[in-house]
């Protein structure tokens, strides 16, 4: 009995240490942002821009015949930044959604259905629910999301949030319109392997020099 108790204690310490390290590692890529991260001119005309239900005139697609352009990044490479003014946070975004990328923070899906923002298709970002993406549950329809990629700022407006099964294959799919999707495990406080996914979907409304970034 004593040996069993010791084993359980050691196992508990190892698990706490592992999750603690995972949380610390992921949060190194998250930073607080100031209220002025969005340029003043963008704040002033934000509502007017979002009221237009058509694709912005300055959105250009790349690739021939609607085909996605191959993107050659090493897994885990820091390639972009996600900025969410509503929760005052900015996240470094890493290429891929394997263990290496997600251990660092937010990962950008690399698949035949998804692409970076400059290709005007479906960009999907994923992060752990118990670290970087826990605040995602506080977002609401109409909130703004920004992605800075290759020196260009992309502004999206959230139009839908929902919970789905972890095996749902209808989330990471090809889209003809520029779309940003955030995905994380759910419930947020679930112990163990969470059975569901929390999804945030947003439409692109503007791109350009929109943010005050260092």
Smallest CA-to-CA distance from 146 within 65, 214, 75, 90 is with: 90
> What is the pLDDT at residue 67?
60
pLDDT of residue 193: 80
The verdict on whether 128 is a catalytic residue reads yes
CA quadruple 109, 110, 114, 119: dihedral, nearest 10? 110
Per-residue pLDDT of the chain (214 residues; tens, 9 = 90+): 566 655 556 655 544 444 444 544 445 689 999 888 998 765 554 444 444 444 555 555 544 445 666 677 999 999 999 999 999 999 999 999 999 999 999 999 999 999 999 999 999 999 998 889 999 999 999 999 999 999 999 999 999 999 999 999 999 999 999 999 999 999 987 877 889 999 999 999 999 999 998 7
Q: Against a cut of 0.85, is the pTM above it?
A: no
Is residue 32 domain-resident?
A: yes
Phi-psi category of residue 120: left, alpha or beta, with phi > 0 → left and psi -120 to 50 → alpha: left
Whether 68 is covered by a domain: the verdict is yes
Q: pLDDT of 45-83, one tens digit each?
A: 444 444 444 455 555 554 444 566 667 799 999 999 999
Residue 213 lies in a domain: no
Alpha carbon distance 82, 93 (integer Å): 7
Tell whether 147 is covered by a domain.
yes
Q: Compute the Cα dihedral for 115, 120, 121, 124 and give only its sign.
A: positive
Measure the CA–CA gap between 127 and 82, rounded to whole angstroms: 12
CATH of the domain at 53: 2.40.260.10
Residue 158 structural domain: 2-208
Find the catalytic residue in 46, 122, 128, 189: 128
Residue 77: inside a domain, yes or no? Answer: yes
Q: Where are the strands (E) in 73-214, listed by range?
A: 78-84, 89-95, 106-108, 122-126, 144-149, 152-165, 179-186, 196-208
- Considering its fold, how many domains does the chain have in total? 1
Alpha-carbon distance 44 to 150, whole Å? 25
Does any domain span residue 214?
A: no
Please report which residue ranges of 71-126 form alpha helices under DSSP H. 99-104
């Amino acid at each position: 009995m004593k040996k069993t108790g010791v084993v359980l204690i050691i196992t508990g310490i190892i698990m706490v240490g592992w999750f603690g390290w995972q949380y610390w590692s992921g949060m190194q890529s998250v930073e607080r942002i100031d209220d002025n991260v969005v340029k003043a001119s963008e704040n002033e005309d934000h509502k007017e821009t979002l009221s237009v239900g058509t694709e912005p005139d300055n959105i250009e697609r790349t690739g021939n015949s609607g085909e996605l352009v191959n993107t050659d990044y090493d897994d885990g490479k820091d390639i972009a930044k996600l900025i969410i003014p509503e929760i005052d946070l900015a996240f470094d975004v890493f290429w891929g959604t394997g263990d290496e990328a997600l251990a660092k923070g937010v990962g950008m899906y690399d698949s035949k259905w998804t692409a970076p923002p400059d290709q005007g298709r479906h960009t999907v970002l994923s992060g752990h629910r118990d670290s970087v993406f826990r605040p995602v549950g506080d977002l609401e329809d109409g909130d703004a999301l920004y992605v800075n990629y290759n020196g260009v700022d992309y502004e999206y407006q959230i139009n839908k949030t929902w919970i789905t099964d972890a095996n749902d294959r209808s989330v990471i799919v090809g889209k003809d319109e520029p779309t940003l999707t955030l995905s994380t495990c759910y419930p947020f406080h679930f112990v163990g392997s969470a059975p569901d996914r929390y999804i945030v979907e947003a439409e692109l409304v503007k791109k350009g020099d929109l943010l005050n970034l260092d």
